[in-house]
Structure 1
Amino acid sequence: MEQVSKHLNMAVSAMTVSAFLKALNENDFDGAGEFMDENVRFEGVLGSVEGREEYLSQMAKMKLHYDVKQLLYDEDNVSVLYEIDMGGKPVLTSGWYEVREGKITHIRAIFDPRPVL
């Protein structure tokens, strides 16, 4: 039974991140917030943000589009390789999402910022 529970947690983590990115692509920031813990932390190359409201406020300003290339996951972690359209420039990015109890609690994004500087 423990193995079944672990597989269900993996599936929930992957579906949570997929639904979150879909909502962001649709500029549905309220919908995206449903998949985030209120104290979510974001760490990126160009800065960090703490809290769901602050993160979503920043995302609403940027209105990025995520073109998912690969999604890998285990029980509480989802790794996504995607291209993000940043001002008309595709930037290959790796995102690492930590998911606890169906909510994203921590996001880390790594990319080469030179195309957008």
Structure 2
Amino acid sequence: MNALNIVDAYFAAWRADAPDQLEPLLAEDISVKGPLGRIEGAKEYRQALSWLFGITRDLVIVKQWVDGPDVLTWFDLHANDEEPVPAVNWLRVEGGRITRVRVAFDPRPILPSDAA
């Protein structure tokens, strides 16, 4: 599979609320950075995504750009009854697995009200 196919499978798992489907897609030493923190390792990332997948009502991909092993995806995250949260996700794919994730979005609309 090429980088875009792997990224599309990542987003399909998200839409399906199926973090276990990520196992063949993620490198064991994946590095993740975003507004909710930093994560090192596939197991920890799958656990963190379980929460995010669970609150997602819909995820609409607006645009994707591919540059070799890098895929940048602009999407709208629908997580509650508020307006969708615009987000950008930069995934690097090496050796058929996602090795790096960089994400940017305003997390306040999706955080519990006592955490925002």
- Fold match by TM threshold 0.5: yes
Confirm or deny that 1:84 pairs with 2:87. Answer: no
Within 2, Cα distance between the matches of 1:113 and 1:29?
A: 20
In structure 1, the partner of 2:47 is: 57
Unaligned runs of 5+ in 1: 1-10
The answer to which structure has the higher helix fraction is 1
Q: 1:41 to 1:88 in 2, by over 3 A?
A: farther
Are 2:63 and 1:73 equivalent residues in the alignment? no
CA radius of gyration, larger in: 1
Residue 110 of structure 1 aligns with which residue?
Answer: 104
* Residues matched between the structures, number: 107
CA–CA distance in 1 between the matches of 2:69 and 2:60?
22
The normalised TM-score by structure 1 is: 0.82
Which of 13, 19, 37 is equivalent to 2:27? 37
Q: Deviations over 1:51-97 (max 9, x none)?
A: 11111111112223421111110111000000112334411001100
Task: Name the counterpart of 2:12.
Answer: 22
Consecutive unaligned residues in structure 2, runs of 5 or more: 111-115
Aligned residues: CA RMSD: 1.6
Shift of 1:15: 0.6
Distance in 2, matches of 1:86 and 1:105, equals 26
Identity %: 25
| In 2, Cα distance between equivalents of 1:101 and 1:94 | 23
| CA-CA distance at 1:114 after TM superposition | 4.1
In structure 2, relative to structure 1, the CA distance for the partners of 1:59 and 1:88 (3 Å cut) is farther
Is the 1:21–1:32 Cα contact (8 Å) retained in structure 2? Answer: no
Structure 1 consecutive aligned stretches of length 4 or more whose deviation exceeds 2 Å: 85-89, 112-117
Q: Does 1:93 align with 2:80?
A: no
